[in-house]
Structure 1
Amino acid sequence: MITLTNIKKVYNPKKANEFEALHGVSCDIKDGELVAIIGKSGAGKSTLLHILACIDSYQDGEYRIDDTLVKGLSERKYARIRNEKIGMVMQDFALVEDFTALENVMIPLNFSKKKIKGKKEKALAALKAVGIEDLAKKPCNKLSGGQKQRVAIARAIVNEPSMILADEPTGALDTKTSSEIMELFKSLNEQGRTVVIVTHDPKVAEQCQRVIEISDGEIVGGNE
């Protein structure tokens, strides 16, 4: 369960270029939901996603994941939450291009503070789950955009997080590949994972169970 209560985010506080990106945002995302966050460029949707992903902090309000207050934690605790509870998928894939698909998927396992047995087997299972186990040994700089996004999703799920956050995951893909990636997200959601997708694409949003619209740093729709 994700709970945001009156979240306020200010960039460059007390400086001439101070900018308030989020103005008291509140919403709940239940376990197992498939949610889209939509809005125009600059509306605050990526800022909101970065707070959900524990990549960015916030000034006021409360953000809770499973009753854990996410604020003022040590970097070690933030890193642990990101590693164990959250799987992140970026528009530009954010892969190590010289690494193989398998090596990229193993990165979260190697950074985990928990002792994990059978890392290679777990990574291969994640690649199999996204349908590209046959590309395990192929360098990512030799893969297509759709294949790279599948590697990124495999990396996001390898630690079996409860929540997957995706930032414009189909933005760099053609229509057919975008459709395949959305089917993959829906499949992961059907397995019980919470999936939150930031998108500007109405075709992506309409495939989600709920659409949260953000405008000028405020939620203006879908917050039931």
Structure 2
Amino acid sequence: MIQLHQISKIYNQGKTNAFQALHKIDLKIADGELVAIIGTSGAGKSTLLHILACIDSYESGEYYIDDTLVKNCSEKKLAQIRNKKIGMVMQDFALVDDFSALQNVMLPLDFSKSKVSEKKEKCLKALQAVGMEKFAHHQSNKLSGGQKQRVAIARAIVNEPSIILADEPTGALDSKTSSEIMELFKSLNDAGRTVIIVTHDMKIAQQCKRVIRIEDGKIVD
């Protein structure tokens, strides 16, 4: 369960260029939901996603992941939450170009004490789940956009997180590939994961089970 109560975010607080990106956001997302957060550029949706991902802080309010109050967590605890509970998928894939698909998927396992052979087995399983096991040893910059996004999703799920957060995951893809990626997110959701997709595309949002609209830093629908 994700719960946000009266979350506000202000950039450059106390300065002349202070900007309030989020205004007292109240939001609950149950385990196993498939949710779209939709809004125009600058509406605050990416800021909200970064707070959900424990990447960005907030000025006031309370954010709970399950029973954990995020603002009470140490940096070490936040890193553990990001590594174990949350998988992130970005629009630009955020892959290391000169790494293979397998090496990219292994990155979240850098701090794992498991044997290298066990890590590789886990990564190959994640690549298989997204239909990319045949490309495990292909260099990332040789892959198509859709293939790169599949590798990025494999990296997001390799630690078997309960929550997948995706920031405009189809923004750099054509319509056919976007549909394939959305089917992949739906299958991850069907397997029990909570999936939250930030998008400006209503066609993508309508494929989710719930749509949250944000405007000017406020949830309006």
TM-score, shorter chain, exceeding 0.5: yes
Q: Quick one: percent identity of the two aligned structures?
A: 74
Compute the displacement of 1:73 (Å): 2.4
Matches of 2:43 and 2:20, distance apart in 1: 11
1:178 counterpart residue number? 178
For 1:91, the aligned partner's letter is: Q
Q: Is 1:129 aligned to residue 129 of structure 2?
A: yes
1:208 counterpart residue number? 208
For 2:106, the aligned partner's letter is: M
Matches of 2:74 and 2:109, distance apart in 1: 21
Matches of 2:154 and 2:181, distance apart in 1: 12
Q: 1:41-89: per-residue Cα shift (whole Å, max 9, x none)?
A: 1110000000000110001000000110001422211111100000000
Matches of 1:194 and 1:125, distance apart in 2: 20
Q: Is 1:191 aligned to residue 191 of structure 2?
A: yes
The DSSP-based 3-state class of the residue aligned with 1:111 is coil
1:103 counterpart residue number? 103
Matches of 1:123 and 1:58, distance apart in 2: 34
Compute the displacement of 1:111 (Å): 3.0
Matches of 1:203 and 1:181, distance apart in 2: 13
For 1:61, the aligned partner's letter is: G
Q: Where in structure 2 are the equivalents of 1:68-107 lying within 5 Å?
A: 68-107=68-107
Matches of 1:75 and 1:65, distance apart in 2: 15
Name the Cα RMSD after superposition. Answer: 0.8
Matches of 2:120 and 2:105, distance apart in 1: 9
Q: Is 1:158 aligned to residue 158 of structure 2?
A: yes
1:54 counterpart residue number? 54
What is the TM-score when the length of structure 1 is the normalising length?
0.96
2:2 counterpart residue number? 2
Q: Is 1:116 aligned to residue 114 of structure 2?
A: yes
For 1:13, the aligned partner's letter is: Q
Q: 1:81-103: per-residue Cα shift (whole Å, max 9, x none)?
A: 10000000000000111100000
Matches of 1:72 and 1:15, distance apart in 2: 26
What is the TM-score when the length of structure 2 is the normalising length?
0.98
Matches of 1:132 and 1:159, distance apart in 2: 17
For 1:11, the aligned partner's letter is: Y
Matches of 1:162 and 1:127, distance apart in 2: 18
Matches of 2:127 and 2:134, distance apart in 1: 8
Question: Where has structure 1 moved over 6 Å in runs of 4 or more?
Answer: none
Gaps of 5+ in 1: none
Matches of 1:22 and 1:63, distance apart in 2: 13
